Amino acid sequence: TSAASPTLDPTPDLADSTLVRAARRQPVPHTPVWFMRQAGRSLPEYREVRKDVAMLTSCRTPELVTEITLQPVRRHGVDAAIFFSDIVVPLQAVGVDVDIVAGTGPVIAEPIRTRADLDRLPELTPEHVPDITESVRLLTAELGGTPLIGFAGAPFTLASYLVEGGPSKNHERTKALMHGDPQLWSDLCARLAQISGAFLRVQAQAGASAVQLFDSWAGHLSRADYLRHVEPHSRSVLEGVADLGIPRIHFGVGTGELLPAMADAGADVIGVDYRVSLTDAVERTGGRYAVQGNLDPALLFAPWSALEARVREIVEEGRNAPGHIFNLGHGVLPDTDPTVLTRVVELVHEISAR
């Protein structure tokens, strides 16, 4: 950071990383690649560290967060680390009684369904999450030239867990609240937008080089409902961190119909799942955004020749995008062979080198 002793300053300029450059639609020496859920049960070293530690305990223990986040970077040589945490961590930090049940997901002891419930959900301040600041600082010191992606859950996806009380297939209570009491819904999402935005800001201020907003379940909404009841709140999160000057990635699953709205909500990069081709995603978003994706995570179980052909297609499509970050369409499945992931990283680097 000082011009006085450039040779003694080991701080690499992460603005020059392939991830940040691709997100900014600048030329890159090769296509950057990382995988959602790259840290996790596909790695034996992760299962080892997590053996006797509950999920949320591991997320709040800086030494464990650092080790788990670094594991896939060491093993696969990916171009970015994703902060090891969970979308419910900021909720737990403000006092929500939440547990992550293995094989199920987040379970909320007292769901939020009334005005009185909402009144018990505080805003998030940095004082709620000193451990997150510490984890990010430890991590960025270890990561050197590899950028760290911070993340948060988007208001709709968080609201779904809070209103349903846990994972949901149909989101019926959530949609009933959205339509039955639009004012309460809007107030709940505004509170969640504050929490998510503050959580992203803490990570960015501690050293994250990019942020990703996960609206994993937005694909369950019609476009009209998304635009009216959800987009304003996601926009408030994304626009609220615009001043940090780092790229913002906006991701959801099954969001083919929502891609233009999700991109225009304030993203630099739009996450694309495997249901829509990158070419179509670029067209639908007017060629104005970098794209991230979009290998079907199930294809990691296919014979290498089939997988290789698909990776090549995605890299080719990505060449015609304004910017491309190679990723899966959704998270790594727990039974994935991690050696296949390493091979995919090597292949993407090799065939995209320019």
> What strands, in cross-sheet order, belong to the sheet with 269-271?
81-82, 148-153, 210-214, 248-251, 269-271, 290-295, 324-328
Q: 246: how many CB neighbours lie within 10 A of its CB? A: 22
Task: Provide the 8-state DSSP code for 298.
Answer: G
**Can you tell me which of 86, 164, 231, 268 binds ligand CP3, judged by CB under 6 A?**
86
Maximum separation of any 2 CA atoms in the chain, in Å:
62
The verdict on 67 binding ligand CP3 (CB under 6 A) reads no
Q: Is 24 a catalytic residue?
A: no
Residue 60 in marked binding region: no
The label of the residue with tokens 């949320």 reads: 56
The verdict on 90 binding ligand CP3 (CB under 6 A) reads no
The verdict on 87 binding ligand CP3 (CB under 6 A) reads yes
Residue 25 in marked binding region: no
Q: Which of 200, 92, 186, 95 is nearest to 153 (CA)?
A: 200
Which of 24, 37, 60, 343 is catalytic? The answer is 37
Q: Strand, helix or coil at 209?
A: coil
Within residues 270-309, the interface with ligand CP3 by CB under 6 A covers: none
Residue 330 in marked binding region: yes
Beta carbon nearer to ligand CP3, 44 or 180: 44
193: which residues sit within 8 A by CB, 6+ positions away? 155, 233, 234, 236, 237, 240
Q: Is 37 a catalytic residue?
A: yes
Cβ at position 121, least distance to ligand CP3 in Å: 18
The interface region with ligand CP3, picked from 96-104, 198-206, 273-281, 285-293 by CB under 6 A, is 96-104
Q: In 3-state terms, the chain is what percent helix, strand and coil (to 5)?
A: 50, 10, 35
The interface region with ligand CP3, picked from 91-99, 104-112, 168-176, 190-198 by CB under 6 A, is 104-112
Residues 86 and 58 sit within 8 Å (Cβ to Cβ): no
Q: Is 120 a catalytic residue?
A: no
Chain contacts with ligand CP3 (rule: CB under 6 A): 36-41, 50, 55, 82, 84, 86-87, 100, 102-106, 151, 157, 167, 214, 216, 331
Residue ranges of the annotated binding site for substrate are 37-41, 86, 161, 216, 330
What are the residue numbers of the active site?
37, 41, 50, 86, 161
